[in-house]
Amino acid sequence: MRFVLTALIFLIGLFDLFMAGSFLFQPLDVARGLGVMQVGPAGVSTIRADFMSFFGVAGFAMLWGAWRRNADLMLVPLLLFSVTLAGRAIDLVVSGPYPGWPVPMAVEAIEVVLLLAGWRLLPHHKIADLTS
């Protein structure tokens, strides 16, 4: 069970790193596919920087946590995707549904469930006590 969970987290981490790279190298194409519009050079810069950092940090933490079998590293992407999922749920209530809304929410929900399971099932590593 742990091996399958670790492998799934690793694969989804790779997917997130791929997304980060896509936002770095093709920000307009990928953003357009997600329904995000840029307004001028500042918009392109924001898409490139913010989306790349979101997916890059999440993907890296997932890969590193899965590779090291360290559940503590799952907290960063778990929080990122949980807040994102909550934001989408709030928007769904406030603004109503839009075409295709279930897909990103399903992807984020799957990531949250896998990361929560990883955080619960994988070992937690103690940080060295630097005060002694």
Kindly report the backbone phi and psi dihedral angles of residue 70, in degrees, each rounded to the nearest multiple of 5, phi listed first: -120, 105
Q: Rounded CA gap, 55 and 61, in Å?
A: 10
Cα of 105 vs its chain's centroid, Å: 12
Q: Rounded CA gap, 121 and 1, in Å?
A: 9
Q: Rounded CA gap, 8 and 4, in Å?
A: 6
* pTM of the model as a whole: 0.87
Domain ranges across the chain: 2-121
Q: In a structure prediction context, what are the per-residue pLDDT tens digits for the chain, which is 132 residues long?
A: 889 999 999 999 999 999 999 999 999 999 988 888 888 899 899 999 999 999 999 999 999 999 999 999 999 999 999 999 999 999 999 999 999 999 999 999 999 999 999 999 988 876 555 454
Q: How many residues does the chain have?
A: 132
